[in-house]
């Protein structure tokens, strides 16, 4: 895909991207997670690298090969993902959040496997809210100053344009990308809806690899010029 990029539209940029689901442990053998293959995020990472960016990919538990030349950090939980993001965001000029972060985690972790006691009783699980990684980064000083361009993703089951428009404002990001359903999870193709302050446009159904390339081009057009 490197041939798609002449000139390299992300030359000089450092891109940090999250991908895949997170896994929130209940006990040593169980947990809760989200449905996410990580394919869209990995495709964007590959396209950004081919476009000349230095790319760091923070990945939840997925079985995907690391795109060539991309630095990959594997994490499990939302809190680990936030920590990895925070320790790599300082020099980034672009942050893209494609991860399907679990909104809640079990309030406590059982060191030992929870056993059935034979009575038919089920364990009561309590949850607490996870940190919002995208909102945290978008509220940082560098993002607010315009030195870090933040992009969010949204998977919605209905009213995509309305939800994506509202989510862009709520998260405080210049660009929000919606997955046009239904059921693109795990598939090799997708269709995207780009929502920014000026309006929206659709990237029609294509392979995730091709959409990654198109998204990188759309992104490059929206970026503020790099400071020398």
Nearest to 93 by CA among 9, 167, 176: 9
Question: Using an 8 Å Cβ cutoff, are 142 and 148 in contact?
Answer: yes
Closer by beta carbon to ligand CTP, 4 or else 61: 61
Q: What residues are designated binding site for CTP?
A: 103, 113, 131-134, 153, 167, 171
If one asks whether residue 129 binds Ca ion (CB under 5 A), the answer comes out as no
Closer by beta carbon to Ca ion, 10 or else 134: 134
If one asks whether residue 188 binds Ca ion (CB under 5 A), the answer comes out as no
If one asks whether residue 103 binds Ca ion (CB under 5 A), the answer comes out as yes
Q: How many CB atoms lie within 10 A of CB 47?
A: 28
In angstroms, give the least distance from the CB of 185 to ligand CTP.
13
| Bridge partners for 127 per DSSP | 106
Rounded Cα–Cα distance for residues 132 and 83 (Å)? 12
**Which residues 169-228 are close enough to bind ligand CTP by CB under 6 A?**
none
Question: Using an 8 Å Cβ cutoff, are 60 and 22 in contact?
Answer: yes
Q: Kindly list the catalytic residues.
A: 34
Rounded Cα–Cα distance for residues 100 and 196 (Å)? 21
If one asks whether residue 99 binds ligand CTP (CB under 6 A), the answer comes out as yes
Rounded Cα–Cα distance for residues 207 and 95 (Å)? 22
Q: Is it true that the peptide bond before 36 is cis, omega within 30 degrees of 0?
A: no
DSSP-based three-state secondary structure for 160: helix
**Which residues 117-156 are close enough to bind ligand CTP by CB under 6 A?**
130, 132-134, 152-155
Rounded Cα–Cα distance for residues 45 and 99 (Å)? 12
Closer by beta carbon to Ca ion, 10 or else 100: 100
Size of the site for ligand CTP (CB under 6 A): 15
In angstroms, give the least distance from the CB of 3 to ligand CTP.
29
In angstroms, give the least distance from the CB of 103 to Ca ion.
4
What stretch of H or E contains 136?
Answer: helix 133-138
Q: What residues are designated binding site?
A: 103, 113, 131-134, 153, 167, 171
97 binds, among Ca ion, ligand CTP, none (CB under 5 to 8 A by kind): ligand CTP
Q: Given the rule CB under 5 A, which of 9-17, 101-109, 116-124, 179-187 is the region that contacts Ca ion?
A: 101-109
Angle of the 208-222 helix axis to the 39-50 helix axis, nearest 10:
60
Parallel, antiparallel, or unpaired for β 189-196 and 175-179?
antiparallel
Closer by beta carbon to ligand CTP, 8 or else 86: 86
Which parts of this chain interact with Ca ion (CB under 5 A)?
103
Which parts of this chain interact with ligand CTP (CB under 6 A)?
18, 78, 97, 99, 101, 103, 130, 132-134, 152-155, 167
């Amino acid at each position: 895909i490197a041939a798609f990029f002449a000139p390299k539209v992300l030359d000089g940029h450092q891109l940090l991207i999250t991908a895949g689901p997170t896994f929130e442990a209940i006990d040593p053998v169980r947990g809760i997670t989200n449905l996410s293959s990580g394919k869209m995020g990995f495709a964007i990472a590959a396209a950004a690298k081919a476009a000349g960016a230095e790319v760091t990919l923070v990945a939840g538990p997925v079985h995907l090969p690391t795109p060539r030349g991309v630095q990959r950090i594997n994490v499990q939980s939302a809190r680990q993902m936030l920590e990895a993001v925070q320790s790599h965001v300082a020099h980034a000029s672009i942050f893209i959040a494609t991860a399907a972060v679990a909104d809640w985690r079990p309030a406590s972790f059982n060191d030992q496997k929870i056993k059935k006691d034979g009575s038919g009783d089920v364990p009561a699980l309590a949850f607490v809210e996870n940190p919002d990684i995208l909102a945290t980064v978008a509220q940082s000083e560098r993002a607010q100053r315009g030195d870090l361009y933040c992009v969010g993703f949204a998977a919605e089951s209905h009213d995509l344009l309305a939800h994506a428009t509202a989510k862009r404002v709520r998260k405080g990001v210049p660009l929000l990308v919606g997955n046009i359903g239904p059921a693109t999870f795990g598939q090799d193709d997708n269709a995207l809806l780009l929502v920014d302050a000026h309006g929206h446009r659709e990237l029609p159904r294509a392979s995730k690899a091709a959409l990654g390339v198109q998204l990188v081009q759309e992104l490059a057009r929206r970026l503020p010029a790099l400071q020398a």
